Amino acid sequence: MNQNVQVQGFNDRANGRIHIIDYVRGIALLYMIFFHLTFDLAFVVPTEWGKAAFYANEGVAVLDTSAFILLAGISCAFSRSNLRRGGRLLAVALAFTVVTAFFFPGEAIYFGILHLMSVGMILWGAFDEFLKKAPAAVMIPLCAVIFTLTYQISKGFVGIQGLFEWPVPQELLANNLLYPLGFIKGGFLSVDYVPLLPWLFLFLGGAYIGGLLTKYRDRLPDFCFADPLPWLGFIGRHTLIVYIVHQPVMLGILYAADFLMKR
């Protein structure tokens, strides 16, 4: 009997959950926590080695953000309550904006990853019946192309830098009212800035990938259903709670440590 329990714990195909999604999300969250720690050690409780670690990890952090958004889109295909989930997440994101703007005006978050994912969930939940009619074989490459072409839009152009570039109309950059879309002018600052262009199309591409995973679930290899590290899967299933509490906890510890070291 013990052997049967171990086998089922490792291969949970019978219960239908694709644990590898939780695992990758959990790993992405753990790295994000590490990167936020380097930010805190670089700018909040500044240290030289903290700054070095932060700048050394900036490139990896972009990949981590990309993985997080892609996974959020994939998860939409497995949820029947995207509108409700998106609404709750948007409330949390707006709370982050209010709190950071009030207590840390120089480090406020006006449109970060939570804002982006909440809008993506709401849009998918509201128009999923229409969006699902489009074939994934067309939409995934299309989303990839639009994401690539709009990746530098916050820098004032569309295209691929160094190859072909089309400037964004200046009317869109006249002020920062369109900052959620990615149209900003000099002086705009959001510590965590993940605008709808280009990132919404990475989210939507993930949703179509998720649709393929649900459609061809039976063809996935066994390791996709494996659950050898339940604690990592647990983190991956509860990313929002961990995301909300990790920064206040880390800041509390760092401020306390800094206070004790200066006594």
In this prediction, residue 6 carries a pLDDT of: 39
183-191 CB contacts, 8 Å cutoff, 24+ apart: 183/153, 183/154, 184/154, 189/106, 189/108, 190/108, 190/109, 190/110, 190/111, 190/112, 191/100, 191/107, 191/108, 191/109, 191/112
In this prediction, residue 11 carries a pLDDT of: 57
Nearest residue to 82 (alpha-carbon basis) of 46, 131, 36, 48: 131
In this prediction, residue 7 carries a pLDDT of: 39
Backbone angles phi, psi at 161, to 5 degrees: -55, 130
Chain segment 17-58, per-residue pLDDT in tens: 899 999 999 999 999 999 999 999 998 888 999 999 999 999
Distance of CA 242 to the CA centre of its chain: 13
In this prediction, residue 37 carries a pLDDT of: 94
Q: What pTM does this model have?
A: 0.89
**Per-residue pLDDT tens digits of the chain, which is 263 residues long:** 333 333 345 555 656 789 999 999 999 999 999 999 999 999 888 899 999 999 999 999 999 999 999 999 999 988 889 999 999 999 999 999 999 899 888 778 999 999 999 999 999 999 988 999 999 999 999 999 999 999 999 988 999 988 889 999 988 888 888 999 999 987 788 889 999 999 999 999 999 999 999 999 889 998 999 989 999 999 999 998 999 899 889 989 998 988 888 77
Tokens of 174: 């006249």
CA dihedral 194, 101, 29, 208 (to 10 degrees): -30
Q: Find the helix packing angle between 19-39 and 58-76, rounded to 10°.
A: 150
